[in-house]
Structure 1
Amino acid sequence: MEDQDGAEICFPQLLNASCRKPNLSQTKDGLLYFLLYFIFSVFTVALNLLVIISLHTPTNLLILSLAVSDFLFGLVITPLRAHVLTNCWFLGDLICSLYIYVSSIILGASIGNMILISVDRYVAICEPLHYPTRVTVTRVKMCVCMCWTCSVVYNGLILKDFLTEPGRYRPCYGRCAGGADDISGIIDNVLSSLAPVAVIVILYMRVFVTAVAQARAMRSHVAAVTHQPSGNIMTKKSELKAARTLGVVVVVYLICFCPFFSCAFVPDTADGDLYNIGFMLLHISPCLNPVIYALFYPWFRKAIRLIFSLQILQPGSCETNML
C-alpha cells in the first residue's frame, strides 16, 4: 500500500508534504490533452509567425503587437500548461514564479492590444475626420510600448509577494500555483477581466451602431448617383471592412477569454473541469486570429504566398504592394 501511495504522489520522499500526481497523469485523457496543447502550440507559433513577417500601417502595428503576444503565448504558456496539466512540477519554485509572471505579462499585453484595436476602430469609424491626426504611426508605437510596459509593471506589483518569495502560495510540493492576497486578487480580477471586457464591448457597440448607419448612408448615396463611387466612399468601405474583420477578432477573443476569467468569480473552480475548459478556450484564441486574417484580408493571403514561394528572400521584396 505504501508503494502504491508513493507511486501516486510527486515526491515519495516527502510523503506528508507532496502533491498527488494530476488526475490526467498517465491516462488516455491526459495524453489527449497533451496532444491538443501540443497542436495548439505548434499552430499558434507557426501562424502568428506568418502574421509577424507580413505587417506595416498604424492598424497593422496593433495587429503585429497582438500577433507577438499570441506568438509568445503559443511558445511559452501553452507547452508549460500541457506540462502542468499532465505532470508534477519538477522545475522548482523560482521557475514556477517566472512562468506565472511571464504568462501574466503576455495575457495582460494581449488584453491591452485588444483594447487598443477597439479604440483604433472607434476613432476610425466614429470620428473619421480626426483619425489621420489622432492615430499616427508614432502614437501607435508609443501606445504599444505603453501596453507592454504597463503589463510588466502591473503584474510585477500584483505578484510582488509571489516573486520575492517563490512557493509562497504553493499548496504542496509538485504543483506550480500562483496567487495574491485577497485585496490584490479582487483588484486584479476587476482590472484584468471586468474592466477590459466592459471597455471593449462599449467601444464596439458604438462602432457597430455607427458602421450600420454609415453603410446605409453609402447605399443610399450609391443608389442616387450613376457614376462610379468616389474615393471617399471607397475609403469608408475599406474602414468598415477593417472594423468588421477586427470586430470578428474581438468577438472571438471575448468568447475564448470570458469563460476562463469568469472562473475567478466562481468559488472552488481552480483545477476543475470548468477551469480546464476555460483555459483550453483561452489557448485556442491565439491560433484562430491568423485564420480570421486569412479569411478576410487579401493582403495576408498574398503575403503567405510570397513567404511560401520564397519570393520574400528576393531583393526588393519589402517594397511589394500588398494591397
Structure 2
Amino acid sequence: MEAVEEAELYVSQINDSCRRTKHPYMETTFTYVAVSCIIVLTAVLNLLVIISISHFRQLHTTTNLLLLSLAVSDCLVGILLMPFLLLFQYPACRSFCDIACVVSYFLSFVLVSVSVGNMVLISVDRYIAICNPMFYTTRVTLGRVKLSVGICWICSLVHSCWILRDVLKQPNAYRTSCGECVIVVNLAEGVVDLVVTFAAPILVIVILYLRVFVVAVSQARAMRSHITTVELGRSKTTKAEKSELKAARVLGIVVVVFLLCSFPYYGFTLAAESGLVSDSSYSIVVWFMYSNSTLNPVIYVVFYPWFKKTIRHIFTLQLLQPGSGQTRVL
C-alpha cells in the first residue's frame, strides 16, 4: 500500500499508467497565493493603463497608442493565460478538455506574437523620434500607428492559425495517455515560429536601439554643453528633446525587460529539440515569460508621473465627473 501511495499511478483509457509529476515550486499554499496575487496584479495594473490612455485625451499620442496595444495583450495574459497555467500545475494528471487546451495554446501563440510585434513598433517609433526628429510628426501619425497596430494583431492571428493548423483541425490528436494538455508542432513550423517571433524581431530591436542609444548619448552631451547659452526659442526645442530622450530611456527599459523575460523561453524551445529539458522546466520558463506582462505596468508606475496621476483619478472616482477626459495629467 505504501508503494502504491508513493507512486500515485493514474490509469488512462488505453490501459497505460501515468506517474504523478511533482512540481515542488508549486506545491505550497503560500506559492499558490503568491501566484494568484501576481495574476490579479497583472490584470489590474494593465487594466489601469488601458483606462488611463483610453480616457484622458492628453495621453492620445502615437507612442501611448503602442503602449495601449501592449497593455491589452498583457491584460489578456493576466486574465486568460496565467490562470490556466496555474490550474495546469494543480492536478497531478493535468486533464483538460480538448477545446480548452487548444484555445489556451492558441491564445499563448497570439499574445506572444503581438507582444513581440509591439516591441518592434515601439523600437521603430523611438528610432524615428530620436534619429529623425524633423520627420517624426509627419511620418508617425495616429492613423498610421493605428494601422500598424491592427496589422500586428491580424498578422499574429494568421501566424498562430498557420502554426497550429493541424491542432485546430484535430484538437485531440496529441492527447497523451495521462490526458495531459500537450501540443506538438512540426519542426518546420517550429523553426519558422522561432525566426518570425524571436530571431528576426530581436535583431531589428537590438539594431534600432543601439542606434537610438548612440544618438541619444550625443544629444544629451550637446544639450549639457549648450544649456547655459541656449536662446528662448531653442530652449523649447531642448525641452522637447529631453522629453523624447526620457521616453526613449523608459521604453528602452521596457524592451530590455522583455528580452530578459523572453530569452529563457526561446532557449527552452531550442533545447527541447535536443531533448535536453524536462516538463517541469517548461512551466518555469513560461511563468518567467508571462511575468513580463506584470513588469511592464510596474515600470510605468516607477517612471511615468502621468500614470500615477491617472491612477489617483481612477481610484478617487474623478474619472466619472463630466469632462474628466480633458484633465491635464502631463
After TM superposition, the score normalised by the length of structure 2 is 0.90
1:254 aligns with 2:259: yes
1:213 aligns with 2:212: no
Structure 2 residue aligned with 1:50: 48
Structure 2 residue aligned with 1:35: 33
1:275 aligns with 2:279: no
Equivalent residues in 2 for 1:90-109 (5 A)?
A: 90-109=95-114
1:64 aligns with 2:68: yes
Query: Is the Cα–Cα contact under 8 Å of residues 95 and 181 in structure 2 kept in the other structure?
Result: no
Letter aligned with residue 24 of structure 1: H
Deviates more, 1:12-21 or 1:239-248: 12-21
Deviates more, 1:116-125 or 1:219-228: 219-228
Structure 2 residue aligned with 1:295: 302
Choose which of 268, 271, 287 in structure 2 pairs with 1:263: 268
With over 3 angstroms needed to count, the CA separation of the structure-2 counterparts of 1:18 and 1:50, relative to structure 1, is: farther
Query: Is the Cα–Cα contact under 8 Å of residues 22 and 86 in structure 1 kept in the other structure?
Result: no
How high is the sequence identity, in percent, across the aligned residues? 46
Secondary structure of 2:21 counterpart: coil
Letter aligned with residue 161 of structure 1: D
Distance 1:21 1:217 in 2: 63
Q: How big is the shift at 1:68?
A: 0.3
Choose which of 308, 313, 322 in structure 2 pairs with 1:306: 313
Structure 2 residue aligned with 1:134: 139
Distance 2:231 2:121 in 1: 39
Letter aligned with residue 246 of structure 1: L
Structure 2 residue aligned with 1:24: 23
Deviates more, 1:148-157 or 1:260-269: 260-269
Query: Is the Cα–Cα contact under 8 Å of residues 54 and 303 in structure 1 kept in the other structure?
Result: yes
Distance 1:237 1:108 in 2: 32
Secondary structure of 1:169 counterpart: coil
Distance 2:119 2:318 in 1: 32
With over 3 angstroms needed to count, the CA separation of the structure-2 counterparts of 1:318 and 1:225, relative to structure 1, is: closer
Q: How big is the shift at 1:274?
A: 4.1
**Bigger RCO of structures 1 and 2 (CA < 8 A, at least 6 apart):** 2
Query: Is the Cα–Cα contact under 8 Å of residues 24 and 30 in structure 1 kept in the other structure?
Result: no
Deviates more, 1:102-111 or 1:64-73: 102-111
Query: Is the Cα–Cα contact under 8 Å of residues 118 and 200 in structure 1 kept in the other structure?
Result: yes
Distance 2:194 2:2 in 1: 42
Q: How big is the shift at 1:188?
A: 1.2
Distance 1:143 1:217 in 2: 33
Distance 2:174 2:195 in 1: 21
Choose which of 236, 240, 244 in structure 1 pairs with 2:241: 236
With over 3 angstroms needed to count, the CA separation of the structure-2 counterparts of 1:19 and 1:104, relative to structure 1, is: farther
With over 3 angstroms needed to count, the CA separation of the structure-2 counterparts of 1:277 and 1:24, relative to structure 1, is: closer
Residues 90-125 of structure 1: per-residue CA shift (max 9 Å, x gap): 331222111111111111111111111111101111
For structure 2, the 5+ residue unaligned runs are: 54-59
Q: How big is the shift at 1:272?
A: 4.3
With over 3 angstroms needed to count, the CA separation of the structure-2 counterparts of 1:205 and 1:7, relative to structure 1, is: same
Query: Is the Cα–Cα contact under 8 Å of residues 12 and 178 in structure 2 kept in the other structure?
Result: no
Query: Is the Cα–Cα contact under 8 Å of residues 76 and 103 in structure 1 kept in the other structure?
Result: no
Distance 2:135 2:159 in 1: 31
Q: How big is the shift at 1:84?
A: 1.3
Q: How big is the shift at 1:269?
A: 4.8
With over 3 angstroms needed to count, the CA separation of the structure-2 counterparts of 1:124 and 1:227, relative to structure 1, is: closer
Query: Is the Cα–Cα contact under 8 Å of residues 124 and 131 in structure 1 kept in the other structure?
Result: yes
Distance 2:234 2:300 in 1: 26
Distance 1:255 1:129 in 2: 33
After TM superposition, the score normalised by the length of structure 1 is 0.92
Distance 2:98 2:3 in 1: 27
With over 3 angstroms needed to count, the CA separation of the structure-2 counterparts of 1:17 and 1:102, relative to structure 1, is: farther
Q: How big is the shift at 1:19?
A: 3.8
Q: How big is the shift at 1:166?
A: 1.1
Distance 2:213 2:189 in 1: 35
Count of aligned positions: 321
1:146 aligns with 2:145: no
Residues 136-185 of structure 1: per-residue CA shift (max 9 Å, x gap): 00000001111110000001001100110113233333211112111111
